[in-house]
C-alpha cells in the first residue's frame, strides 16, 4: 500500500481509539443496563467499559508498530537513494574512461582494426545500463591483461600501453562494482522492510474494521445512533486487507 493509504489507516485507527476512549465509560454503563434484565441466577455482568477499552489499546499498539515500520522503511529508502546516486556516479566515471580509451584507439587504428585488436573499437556500443556496462568494462580489462591478445602496433607518434590502460580502469571498475553491490543489498533490505510493514498494516487495517463493526452493533443496541454512524464512516475508510495476517 502507498504512503497515502498507510496514512488513511493510521488516521482511522486514531479516530477509532479516540472515539472509544471518549465514550467507553458511558457506553459501557448503558450496555450493562441494556443487558442486565437477561442475566440468569449466578451470572454477573462483565466490565463493559474495560471490554470497550481493550480493543482501543490493541489498535493503539498496532498503530505504533506501523509507525515504527514506516520509519524504518523511510530510512532505508533514504539509504537506497544515496546508494543509487553513488552507483550512477561511479558508472558515469567508468563510462567516461571507456569512451576516452575507445576514442584514442579508433582515432589511431580505425574502428574495425581497434575492434580486432582489443574487441573494443569505435563501433562497440557502450551500454546505458550500469550492470551491462560493468560486464563490458570487465571484458575489456581482461582483454587488456590477456598476454595472448594480438600485439598492438607502435607508430611514430603513438605508443599505447595496455597494462597502463588496465591500471587506470581497474579502480573505476572496482568502485562501480562495489557501489552496484551496495545498491542491490539496500534494495533487498528495503523490500524486506516493505513486506514487514505491509504485514503490520494488514493487521491494523483488519483490526480497525472488525472493531468498528462490533462496536457499531453494540452502539446500535443501546440506541447511540450518533456513535454508530461515526463508526460506520471509520469502517468505510478502512476496509479489510483481504490478506492472511497473524493477529
- Reply yes or no on whether the pLDDT at 245 is more than 50: no
Is 23 contained in some domain?
A: yes
The per-residue pLDDT of the chain, averaged, comes to 86
- Reply yes or no on whether the pLDDT at 203 is more than 70: yes
* 53 vs 123, more confident: 53
Q: End-to-end distance of the chain based on CA atoms, in angstroms?
A: 19
Report the pLDDT averaged over residues 118-141: 77
Three-state DSSP class for 26?
A: helix
Is 56 contained in some domain?
A: yes
Is 37 contained in some domain?
A: yes
Q: Tens digit of pLDDT for each residue in 17-30?
A: 999 999 999 999 99
pLDDT score recorded for residue 80: 94
pLDDT score recorded for residue 247: 44
Domain interval for residue 133 = 3-150+157-237
pLDDT score recorded for residue 100: 86
Measure Cα distances from 168 to 42, 101, 103, 109, 134 in Å.
90, 10, 16, 21, 15
Q: Tens digit of pLDDT for each residue in 153-182?
A: 766 567 778 888 889 999 999 999 999 999
Spatial contact of 216 and 232, defined as CB atoms under 8 Å apart:
yes
- Reply yes or no on whether the pLDDT at 123 is more than 80: no
Find cell 515504527 and name the residue. 68
> How much of the chain exceeds pLDDT 90, in percent?
53
DSSP state letters, 231-245: HHHHHHHS----S--
Report the pLDDT averaged over residues 32-53: 92
Report the pLDDT averaged over residues 112-123: 65
- Reply yes or no on whether the pLDDT at 189 is more than 90: yes
Is 119 contained in some domain?
A: yes
Number of H helices, E strands in the chain: 6, 0
Query: How many separate domains does the chain show?
Result: 1
Is 244 contained in some domain?
A: no
C-alpha dihedral over 72, 1, 60, 26, to 10 degrees?
160
Burial annotation 168-177 (CB, 10 A radius, 16+ → b, else e) = ebeebbebbb
* 136 vs 85, more confident: 85
Is 94 contained in some domain?
A: yes
Find cell 457506553 and name the residue. 27
Is 242 contained in some domain?
A: no
Q: Which helix (H) or strand (E) holds 53?
A: helix 48-109
Amino acid at each position: 500500500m502507498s504512503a497515502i493509504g498507510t496514512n488513511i489507516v493510521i488516521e482511522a485507527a486514531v479516530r477509532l481509539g479516540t472515539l472509544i476512549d471518549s465514550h467507553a465509560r458511558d457506553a459501557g454503563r448503558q450496555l450493562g443496563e441494556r443487558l442486565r434484565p437477561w442475566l440468569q441466577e449466578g451470572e454477573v455482568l462483565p466490565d463493559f467499559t474495560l471490554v470497550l477499552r481493550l480493543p482501543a489499546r490493541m489498535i493503539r499498539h498496532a498503530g505504533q508498530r506501523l509507525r515504527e515500520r514506516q520509519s524504518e522503511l523511510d530510512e532505508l529508502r533514504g539509504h537506497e537513494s544515496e546508494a543509487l546516486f553513488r552507483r550512477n556516479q561511479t558508472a558515469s566515471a567508468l563510462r567516461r574512461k571507456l569512451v576516452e580509451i575507445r576514442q584514442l584507439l579508433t582515432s589511431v587504428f580505425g574502428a574495425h582494426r581497434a575492434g580486432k585488436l582489443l574487441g573494443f573499437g569505435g563501433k562497440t556500443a557502450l551500454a546505458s545500463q550500469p550492470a551491462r556496462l560493468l560486464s563490458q568494462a570487465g571484458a575489456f580489462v581482461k582483454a587488456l591483461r590477456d598476454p595472448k591478445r594480438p600485439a598492438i602496433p607502435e607508430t611514430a607518434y603513438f605508443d599505447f600501453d595496455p597494462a597502463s590502460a588496465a591500471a587506470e580502469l581497474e579502480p573505476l571498475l572496482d568502485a562501480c562494482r562495489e557501489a552496484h553491490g551496495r545498491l542491490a543489498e539496500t534494495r533487498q533490505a528495503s523490500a524486506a522492510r516493505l513486506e514487514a510493514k505491509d504485514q503490520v498494516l494488514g493487521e491494523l487495517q483488519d483490526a480497525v474494521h472488525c472493531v468498528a463493526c462490533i462496536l457499531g452493533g453494540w452502539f446500535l443496541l443501546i440506541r447511540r445512533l450518533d456513535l454508530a454512524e461515526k463508526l460506520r464512516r471509520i469502517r468505510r475508510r478502512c476496509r479489510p486487507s483481504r490478506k492472511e495476517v497473524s493477529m
